Amino acid sequence: MQFQTLKTDVLILGSGGAGLFAALHASRANPGLDITIAIKGLLGKCGCTRMVQGGYNVALSPGDSVERHFMDTISGGKWLPDQDMAMRLCETAVIRVQELENELGCFFDRNDDGSLHHKAFAGQTFDRTVHKGDLTGIEIISRLMEQVRALPLQMMEEHRALALLPSRDGDVLAGVLLVDMRSGEFRVVKAKTVLLATGGGPTMYRYHTPSGDKSMDGLAMSLRLGLGLRDMEMVQFHPTGLLAGRDTRMTGTVLEEGLRGAGGYLLDGQGERFMLNYDAEGERATRDIVSRAIYAEMRAGRTTSNGGVYIAMSHLGPDLVAAKFPGMVKRCADCGFDLAAGRVEVVPTAHYFMGGVVVTTDTRTAMPGLFVAGEDAGGAHGANRLGGNGVANSTVFGGIAGDEMAAQASLQNHWVEPDSEVIEAAMERSMLPFRQAAGSINSIRDRLLDLMWDDVGVLRDADGIKRAQVEMVALKTELQACGLADDNRVFNLSWHDWLNLSSLIEVSEVIAAAALSRENSRGAHYREDFPEVGSLDDSYFTIAHSDPEKVGQTVRVECQPVEFSIVKPGESLIH
């Protein structure tokens, strides 16, 4: 098959916080470098960094400290985070927020005296979340985007990465195979260094929050390259996603945390409050507890017409609600719901993926030449991510990756030839649907989403997970045989739906295997057959390998003890 070949010093995949920061840092570190950024959508206009609402955790407030931020991150992550990564995150966040303000022009909300405003966010012992109203992500990504768009770099917008290409001997990363979504043509970009920043995104669940372009491509590509992925069982659910029916893309999108914090009620299908049956904190309990409670209500059948529960705010006074949550009220109104005075159906929704590629604190991987940052990288959050640590993670490590890649690419004066067999195989694989008779991709998608939601979701047990594993093998085979109704490769969304689904199934298999292997309940992972947390001192994390080429259950999961390199359970850095 035909493809065009290009060359670059630094290749960045993705334009979220991680990708854009990497571009900026690499270019500042060495303006002479040839930098290319390839994105599945338009630069800065896709991915989840834009969707950040709550804000950015940083220890900048008087009285707060990096150590305290670190301790909150570790205990929030149930002692599973890689402590060196978590520390680097908390330390560098300070510089990054100053960089965002002073160099890029972000303006975060201020107190009346002009100092930065820090708001409270769940799971933290100090008010440390800086924000711009409840649209923090738009401010961060817009400022980043306009800076990066002014740089003299190669933009490959609407280019989807299909495969990471090793050298012939498999020792180093040589480049990436992409498809130009606008023309359907293949491109191989040979690069001295590559950053994977495609941002995870658990969109294989019936209800999910991330943007539509995210489909775990980065992790699927890493698996094929033979890299180990850690914490793959850790999928964070947000308790209140909008529920508006199956055929609307609004379903699953986040209704903000603050609604419960302000005193909103959760009601079952009969209009009864139920949270107090689960936790003394009621609706104000943490994300995981509320998600599990709602899920349990749903499973018991006490649901609304669409199969969720209600959030009700009207008892606080519709005018007050409208004044306090204008964005949410408007968003609901645009969708046809009255949040201020009525009830809105909600459901837990898959929000963030803690798992990812095993990396060092300077974003290197086991494959020389490949760097990973942002939601694609595992380790910083362990079993649970604190609200506000997600965007911190992507911007901090994206910047670090940019510095590291620039340094490495500046020293290297040759390119490595990618393995042509891998290129051929990857093109062949992606062209598969054009060689099959048209099939029903919708039904495969629906079944995957339901399967993951029902059996590998908020509450899990061995039987369910095993059931899901069997079904997933079938889905995979069906997808291979499912062709497309339109064979024009130009801007063919249905083709990309197929490719998305392929990545999602491959990663779902790994999530299921990791979930089955962890026989305890930590953070986001809850096993009904193993509800205990397990010994903190013996904390371990999972590492999964898989060969998606093979049919059947091909995932291998190992456990590795957490290295308490900075603090041990029972200890604290704060005295």
Partner 1 sequence: MSDSSTASITVHVWRGNSEGGSFDEFQVPQQPSQTILDIVTWIQRNLDAGLSYRFACRVGMCGSCAMMVNGIPRWTCRTHVNKVMRDKQLTIEPLRNLPVIKDLACDMSEFFAKWNQAQGQFQGSTTRDEKIAPISPCSPEREAANAAIECINCAICYASCDVVAWNRDYLGPAALNRAWSLQNDVRDTAGESRLAAVAGDAGCHRCHSQQGCASYCPNELNPTASIAGLKRLTASDFLRRRYRSRHA
Ligand X SMILES: Cc1cc2nc3c(=O)[nH]c(=O)nc-3n(C[C@H](O)[C@H](O)[C@H](O)COP(=O)(O)OP(=O)(O)OC[C@H]3O[C@@H](n4cnc5c(N)ncnc54)[C@H](O)[C@@H]3O)c2cc1C
Instruction: Give me the residues that bind ligand X (CB under 6 A), please.
Output: 13-19, 38-41, 46-49, 51-55, 160-161, 197-199, 209-210, 213-214, 217, 254, 352, 374-375, 387-392, 394
Specify the stretch interacting with partner 1 by CB under 8 A; choose among 141-149, 160-168, 220-228, 447-455: 141-149
DSSP 329-352: HHHHHHTT--TTTSEEEEEEEEEE
226 lies in the binding site for partner 1 (CB under 8 A): no
> CA 376, CA 68: separation in Å to the nearest integer?
26
AA identity, residue 287: R
Q: Which residues contact 358 (CB under 8 A, 6 or more apart)?
A: 227, 228, 229, 230, 365, 366, 378, 379, 543
Q: How many CB atoms lie within 10 A of CB 518?
A: 23
> CA 95, CA 38: separation in Å to the nearest integer?
27
> CA 41, CA 53: separation in Å to the nearest integer?
21
Would you say 284 or 324 has its CB closer to partner 1?
A: 324
The minimum distance between CB 460 and partner 1, in angstroms, equals: 27
Of the candidates 238, 351, 385, 460, the residue annotated as catalytic is 238
Partner whose footprint covers residue 271, from partner 1, ligand X, none (CB < 5 to 8 Å by kind): none
486 lies in the binding site for partner 1 (CB under 8 A): yes
Neighbour-count burial for 206-233, b at 16+ CB within 10 Å, e otherwise: bbbbbbebbbbbbbbbbbbbebbbbbbb
99 lies in the binding site for partner 1 (CB under 8 A): yes
Site for partner 1 in 18-47 (CB under 8 A): 41-43, 45-47
Would you say 41 or 308 has its CB closer to ligand X?
A: 41
Would you say 161 or 322 has its CB closer to ligand X?
A: 161
The minimum distance between CB 65 and partner 1, in angstroms, equals: 16
> CA 132, CA 395: separation in Å to the nearest integer?
16
Partner whose footprint covers residue 521, from ligand X, partner 1, none (CB < 5 to 8 Å by kind): none
The minimum distance between CB 125 and ligand X, in angstroms, equals: 17
Look up residue 12 and give its DSSP letter.
Answer: E
Would you say 108 or 274 has its CB closer to ligand X?
A: 108
CB-count burial class (<10 Å; 0-12, 13-18, 19+) for 289: middle
Site for partner 1 in 509-548 (CB under 8 A): none
As beta bridge partners, residue 356 has 230
Q: CB of 378 within 8 A of CB of 358?
A: yes
The minimum distance between CB 376 and partner 1, in angstroms, equals: 17
63 lies in the binding site for partner 1 (CB under 8 A): no
Provide the token pair at 487: 């064979």
Would you say 138 or 296 has its CB closer to ligand X?
A: 138
Would you say 393 or 546 has its CB closer to ligand X?
A: 393
Site for partner 1 in 291-350 (CB under 8 A): 331, 334-336
443 lies in the binding site for partner 1 (CB under 8 A): no
Q: Is the dihedral of CA 286, 291, 292, 298 positive or negative?
A: positive
448 lies in the binding site for partner 1 (CB under 8 A): no
How many Cα atoms within 13 Å fall on the side-chain side of residue 124? Answer: 26
Q: Is the dihedral of CA 261, 265, 268, 274 positive or negative?
A: positive
Would you say 254 or 468 has its CB closer to ligand X?
A: 254
Site for partner 1 in 234-253 (CB under 8 A): 244-251, 253
Provide the token pair at 96: 């990054």
The minimum distance between CB 537 and ligand X, in angstroms, equals: 29
161 lies in the binding site for partner 1 (CB under 8 A): no
The minimum distance between CB 67 and ligand X, in angstroms, equals: 20
The minimum distance between CB 435 and partner 1, in angstroms, equals: 16
AA identity, residue 344: V
Q: CB of 89 within 8 A of CB of 71?
A: no
571 lies in the binding site for partner 1 (CB under 8 A): no
Number of residues located near partner 1, criterion CB under 8 A: 71
Partner whose footprint covers residue 81, from ligand X, partner 1, none (CB < 5 to 8 Å by kind): none
Of the candidates 68, 69, 260, 343, the residue annotated as catalytic is 260
Partner whose footprint covers residue 161, from ligand X, partner 1, none (CB < 5 to 8 Å by kind): ligand X
Residue least distant from ligand X (Cβ): 16
Site for partner 1 in 193-212 (CB under 8 A): 211-212
Partner whose footprint covers residue 99, from partner 1, ligand X, none (CB < 5 to 8 Å by kind): partner 1
Specify the stretch interacting with partner 1 by CB under 8 A; choose among 93-101, 169-177, 356-364, 374-382: 93-101
Partner whose footprint covers residue 149, from ligand X, partner 1, none (CB < 5 to 8 Å by kind): partner 1
Residue with tokens 């908020």: 458
Catalytic annotation present for 238: yes
- Backbone phi and psi for residue 556, each to the nearest 5 degrees, phi listed first: -115, 125
Provide the token pair at 419: 């393995």
116 lies in the binding site for partner 1 (CB under 8 A): yes
Q: How many CB atoms lie within 10 A of CB 370?
A: 25
Would you say 160 or 489 has its CB closer to ligand X?
A: 160
431 lies in the binding site for partner 1 (CB under 8 A): no
Residue with tokens 């804000």: 55
H helix runs in 13-134, sequence order? 17-29, 66-76, 83-99
Q: CB of 483 within 8 A of CB of 433?
A: yes
Catalytic annotation present for 331: no
CA distances from 445 to 300, 488, 494 (A): 25, 22, 12
The H or E element spanning position 426 is helix 420-431
Specify the stretch interacting with partner 1 by CB under 8 A; choose among 29-37, 95-103, 371-379, 516-524: 95-103
Taking CB under 8 A as the criterion, the residue among 1, 5, 125, 146 binding partner 1 is: 146
Would you say 181 or 458 has its CB closer to partner 1?
A: 181
Would you say 55 or 269 has its CB closer to ligand X?
A: 55
Q: How many CB atoms lie within 10 A of CB 249?
A: 8
The minimum distance between CB 53 and ligand X, in angstroms, equals: 5
Nearest CA to 13 out of 159, 170, 202, 227 is that of: 159
Q: Which residues are catalytic?
A: 238, 260
